[in-house]
Amino acid sequence: MENRSTSAEFFDLLEVGKSAAYEAGSYLVQMLGSAYIEYQKALNDDLLDVDLEAERIILTAFHRKTPDIGILSEEAGQDKEYQNYWIVDPLDGSANFQHGSPLFGVAIALVINRTTVGGIIYLPTRKEMFTALKNHGAFLNDQCIHVSSTQTLQKSIIHIGDFAKGNDPVAVRQQVEDITELATHVRRIRMIGTAATDLVYVASGRADLLVNHATSPWDIEAGKLVLLEAGGKVSTRRIDNRILAIYSNSILHQEAEDLLYADNGIL
């Protein structure tokens, strides 16, 4: 396809993504409580039938409406190499969904010329559509959102990413140590089991900071753009065999880096 370069075209593409996310989210709400396991992808990480159907809904819409844009999806992988492509997580929070929890979302990012320019996170049980377009701000149901103004870690609500689904006990112990160090310096800590939701909660001021170890683009790209466009800040460091990423309201960022990165021997 020819490279799309105007804001109007990006807005049009974002609407395509929003429509696909809404359709998949509506299906997921109908299926909540009735999913079954197709197979186990990894230790403590199951693939559900609804993962595949929600993905099919989204990919069908994209193939029909944007055939010249590639797709990188969590379950289906990447169809071919493209400069422009969608990144799709059809169900972020599968373990929650499997247990009937309403904490799950649909995450879609738009990449143009290998730069993430659009982000969509839809939380279907709350009917909340978070969106962002690079250099145009972040929105919740078309209303502008911004990160919190919390000034110190001691007054902050911190989210932590799910680290229990891997099969590396050493990495899990290290991640637990990171959180243990953090626990005595903050007001509250939450683990809700969906990175997409974590990121938009920081973006909208419902939380002040997220510490996450996820690296897959479908886990973070859409929500990261929403956070950045809402005034947040991101930093990532590799420590031994793991990634330690901090997503914040910007104000708390340096304090969190000093605590977590310095404690691991890096800055």
Q: Structurally, how many domains does the chain consist of?
A: 2
d(CA 44, CA 193): 13
- CATH assignment of the domain containing 170: 3.40.190.80
In the predicted structure, residue 6 carries a pLDDT above the cut 90 = no
- Residues 139 and 235 grouped into a single domain: no
Tokens for 118? Answer: 């659009």
Please give the residue range of the domain that contains residue 50.
7-144
Q: Measure the CA–CA gap between 82 and 92, rounded to whole angstroms.
A: 24
Instruction: Tell me: do 11 and 140 sit in the same domain.
Output: yes
- Domain match, 164 and 99 both: no
pLDDT, position 54: 94
Confidence of residue 213 (pLDDT cuts 50, 70, 90): confident
pLDDT one-digit tens code per residue, 98-155: 889 999 999 999 999 989 999 999 999 999 999 999 999 999 999 999 999 999 999 9
What pTM was computed for the model? 0.90
Domain boundary among 121, 144, 167: 144
* Domain edge (last residue) among 144, 170, 202: 144
C-alpha–C-alpha distance, residues 26 and 189, integer Å: 30
**Res 4: pLDDT:** 44
Q: Are residues 185 and 118 in the same domain?
A: no
- Specify whether 32 is located in the same domain as 140: yes
Mark whether 187 and 209 lie in a shared domain: yes
Which pLDDT band, with edges at 50, 70 and 90, does 17 fall under? very high
- Single residue among 114, 144, 174 that ends a domain in this structure: 144
Instruction: Report if residue 218 sits inside a domain.
Output: yes
Q: Are residues 92 and 164 in the same domain?
A: no
Backbone φ and ψ of 148, nearest 5°: -70, 170
Domain-embedded: residue 2 = no
Residue 116 has φ and ψ, to the nearest 5°, of -75, 115
Whether residue 236 sits in one domain with residue 179: yes
In a domain? residue 189: yes
Higher pLDDT, 42 or 105: 105
What is the pLDDT at residue 76?
66
- CATH number of the CATH domain containing 94: 3.30.540.10
Based on the domain organization, do 101 and 28 belong to the same domain? yes
Task: Share the mean pLDDT of the chain.
Answer: 88
Which residue spans within 80-207 are E strands per DSSP? 85-92, 105-112, 115-123, 128-133, 138-140, 143-144, 157-160, 188-190
